[in-house]
Every structure is written in structure tokens, then in C-alpha cells.
Structure 1
Amino acid sequence: MNQIDLNGQVAVITGGAQGIGFAIARRLVASGAKVSLWDMNAGLLDSAAAELGAAATSVVVNITDYAAVEKAVAQTEAEAGPVSILVHSAGIAGKNAPLDDYELEEWRRVIDIDLNGCFYVNRAIVPGMKARNYGRIVNIASIAGKEGNPNAAAYAAAKGGVIAMTKALGKELAKYDIAVNAITPATAKTRILDELKPEFIDYMLSRIPRGRFLEVDEAANMVSWLVSKENSFTTASVFDLSGGRATY
């Protein structure tokens, strides 16, 4: 493992109790950071924080509730210190269905969690970074946000929005020592697969030239550099983690 120096840094990781989020938290702690895990699942949060030890705190938060997000920021900074790193990993896959059959409430749910939630978390944390003239943000999008996946229009639309929002925010904050980037993973072996039909999972695997799913530690490796001080120039960019699937 390459050594990344994150000593003195405080990171918020949404969706941090499991999957890619937890793998990133584990890597950041190994690099010297304190982490605050944000998630909806209190039981998973407790076990994840316990595994990470004294460097980890946790907050049960619904990211679709902006007031709750603001309270989570205040709690995190009271317990761990000013937030200098944000990794936004929380999200859902949503149901698989053709667009013309897609349930309206399910569309709204996916957009609310995957896109509005990303906006709320960024909006609540950015002011502190601006005031301190330092920050590193990585929003986890998806290859679906670049290419679209059939029968998953809501998820693709939300992740495409995350990509566009990240690019806009990175340009807004370019005059500060704040880097805002996104990653676009292909499917990883996480619990999000439980939401998807087997034939849809097979389709996504067939689209990956490497012939396998993403390992969560591979995402953590890329993110650990993106949130370091060494990433002092690149911002408003999208980093591919699709195993060769991306066409741009």
C-alpha cells in the first residue's frame, strides 16, 4: 500500500458504514486521518466505528433532510474537529424497470437520495472549507452517469447529475485550496447488488472489459490520493474506475 499522509485531517464519509464508503474510511484511517462515518443504519455504524477504533466517530443521518445534515456537520466538528475532507458515498440503486413503466415515487426516491442528498451534504460542508481555505471533496458517481444503464434511468440520471454538479462546484471553488472531484466506479461487490435483478447484474458484468467487478479497496486507493494535499491542482474532474468500460 502506498503511503498517503492524511495526518491532522478530518474526513466525513457518507455511506461510511459499509461497502465502498467503509473501505475508504479504513484506508483514510490507515493514512492518519480521523473519520466521521455517516449512515442511516445505526447497527452497522456501531460495528464499523468499533472496527476502526479511536480514530472514528459516527452519526446516524438521513441525507435527504437538510436540517439533519447541518446538525451532523455540527456534531462531527464538535467531536472530531473542522472537516477538511468529504467523501460522499451514500446512495441507492433503485428498482430496475423500463422508463415508461418506472414508478413515479421510486424515481423521486432515487433522485432525492442520490442527487439531492449529494447536494445537501456538499452544501453544508463547503462553507467551512471556504472559511479555512482548504478542503478535498470526492463525490462518488457511477459509470452509469456517463453511459446510462437500461432499466435504471433514475440511477443514471442521478449519477449524471452528481458528475455535472461536481464539475460546477469544482470550478466555483477553484480560487480556493479546495479540490472537488468525482469517481465513476463500475459495479462493485457490495450490498447495493441486493437491490438489483440477477439479469441486470449479469449485464453490467458483461460490459466490463476486465471481466470482473470492482474491488472496494481499489476505489479506496484512488480516493486516498484525491483527498490528499498532493492533489493540489486537479479539480472539477472525473476519474474512471470502470475497468475499461468508459468510452469517454
Structure 2
Amino acid sequence: MAGRLEGKVAAITGAASGFGAAAARRFVLEGAKVVMGDIQDAPGQALADELGDAARYVHCDVTIEEQVANMVDTAVSEFGQLDIMYNNAGIVGSVGPIATTPADEWKRTFDIHVHGTFYGCKHAARVMIPRKAGSIVSMTSTAGIMGGLGPHAYAAAKHAIVGITKNVAAELAQHGIRVNCIAPAGMATAMVAALSGDHTAIEETEKALALASPLKGRGGRADDVVNAALWLASDEAGYTSGHTLTTDAGYTTGAAFPTPFAEREDFVAEAGKRGMDS
């Protein structure tokens, strides 16, 4: 069903590659005008050129508030409004034991994930509040809702994004603005592929993810996240706010682990007694 974002204007950070680039293509296909922000200028501009009149590219380092503000202002000046803010920019960041994590790496990880999301929410709210409408979508992770699934700085930052989402949703509901986030598991993207040493090995990464997936034989793909972002951005999610939507094949439900008590046994009563009549 095309046209789900017809007449809407979106701003997407981290739009030159990965989830951001896939979202830019899909949003335009669904009828939106898109302002794409990234620090990767060559691929970002190339994608904007590919998408034509429906897209604009601006250099945007999400750790610099003025550049995020400029991206939002560009959406308004070029296309007249901002309906969707997709805070997508992210990195893996600092990796390693807590006892040897450098402070500057920790802070840089937070600068991109937490401060970048804050700036996106702040400046989207600035232009959405007068219109009494809008959808803000941010990227968290399964590492942001469950321990042990990511490096320490990354996990802490992603937990913070869940908190930002809930609090900002509570504030902006009175203005008709919805605020949600998406929590993917490891997906077949360049960022995940790079962990194995080759950021271009997307197909191999998907195959490896499929082997470990709770949904046997099905690895996570960029489109799985983009479909979630599309729904949250669209009017179809018009009564959903403050929500963390997982795209993880059920991993955070425990589906990746052996199912406890999978075999039928007698009813267990007090003191270990068995049977309904005990």
C-alpha cells in the first residue's frame, strides 16, 4: 500500500547509509519529502540526487546542536513543515571491559546516541508544537531494554533513549505529538557486518544472524526496522506513543533460550507436593 506518508515531511539523521538510507528511500516511495542529514557527505548527497526533488541533503553532525537545528529548519524552509523526526544516527562506540573503558570513548558514545537524540527531539518539538501534530521516532536497541546484549557505553546510551522517549512522549502528548522508539536486535547492516571485519559482507552477516535467530532461518534485515519506523511515523500508529517497538524475532522475550518447563508435569503445590488433590 503506497502513499502511507503522502503529504508529510521527514527529517532523518544518519541517512547516508544503513537504516537511515533505507528509510529515506522508503519514505519517499510512500509519498514523503525527506531531509537527510549525515557526516558522510558524498554518499548522502548521492542518495539525495538519486531521490530527486523529494529529497535534500545537509551535513549534520548530531553531536552539534546547531547542525541538528539547521536540519530541522531546512525541512521547514524547503518543504514548509516537519511531520516526522527520525533520530537514527548511531555507532557501536566504545567496546571492552568496564575496567578499561576510556572516558573519552564513553563520552563520545553518549554524545552521538543520547545528546543527538535529545537535540533531535528538542528541535522537532520546537516546530511541531505550534502545528499540534508530529511523530518523533528514535533508535534504541535490544541492548537498551535487556542487559548483556551490547558494549557498556552503547547499552547505557540506548537505555537512556528509552527513558527520553517515555518522558518526551508524556510532555508532548498534550500537543498531539507522538514519541516512540525502535529496539532492533543485531541486523544485517554495514555496522553489524563491520564487527566481523568486513562492513560490506551484508549477505554473510544475514546468514550468520539467521543461524542464531529465535525465528529459525530468518535473520534481521534493514527493512524490518524501516517497516517499524514507517508504521510509527504514519497515521496508522496514531494512538501509539511512549512505546518501544522491538524488531528482534522475540529475543527479549527469552525466545532465544531453552523454554522452561516445556514438558508436561503434574501440578506442583506447596512444599513440592504434586497433583491437584495434594
Instruction: Tell me the TM-score normalized by structure 2.
Output: 0.82
Shift of residue 225 of structure 1? 1.5
SS in 2 for 1:59: strand
How far apart, in 1, do the equivalents of 2:169 and 2:105 lie? 30
How far apart, in 1, do the equivalents of 2:196 and 2:190 lie? 13
How far apart, in 1, do the equivalents of 2:235 and 2:17 lie? 26
| Matching of residue 208 in structure 1 with residue 213 in structure 2 | yes
Amino acid at match of 1:147: M
Aligned partners of 1:96 and 1:196 also within 8 Å: no
Q: 1:160 maps to what in 2? A: 159
What RMSD over aligned residues (CA atoms) do the two structures have, in Å?
Answer: 2.1
Give deviations 1:165-203, integer Å, cap 9, x for gaps: 0011111111222111111001122221255357xx89x
Instruction: Tell me the TM-score normalized by structure 1.
Output: 0.91
How far apart, in 1, do the equivalents of 2:212 and 2:117 lie? 27
Larger RCO: 1 or 2 (CA < 8 Å, sep 6+):
1
Give deviations 1:196-238, integer Å, cap 9, x for gaps: 357xx89x94763125532111211121121112222110011
Q: How does 1:126-137 map to 2 (within 5 A)?
A: 126-137=125-136
- Of residues 238, 248, 260, the one that matches 1:232 is 238
SS in 2 for 1:168: helix
Q: 2:59 maps to what in 1? A: 60
Shift of residue 75 of structure 1? 2.3
Q: How does 1:35-46 map to 2 (within 5 A)?
A: 35-46=34-45
Q: 1:117 maps to what in 2? A: 116
SS in 1 for 2:109: helix
SS in 2 for 1:174: helix
Shift of residue 150 of structure 1? 5.7
Percent identity, please.
35
How far apart, in 2, do the equivalents of 1:142 and 1:161 lie? 11
How far apart, in 2, do the equivalents of 1:243 and 1:4 lie? 27
Amino acid at match of 2:185: A
- Of residues 225, 244, 247, the one that matches 1:241 is 247
- Of residues 214, 220, 227, the one that matches 2:226 is 220
How far apart, in 2, do the equivalents of 1:111 and 1:89 lie? 14
Structure 1: state its 5+ residue gaps: none
Q: 1:70 maps to what in 2? A: 69
More displaced, 221-230 or 180-189? 221-230
How far apart, in 1, do the equivalents of 2:180 and 2:149 lie? 26
Structure 2: state its 5+ residue gaps: 198-204, 255-278
Shift of residue 44 of structure 1? 1.2
SS in 1 for 2:251: coil
Shift of residue 99 of structure 1? 1.1
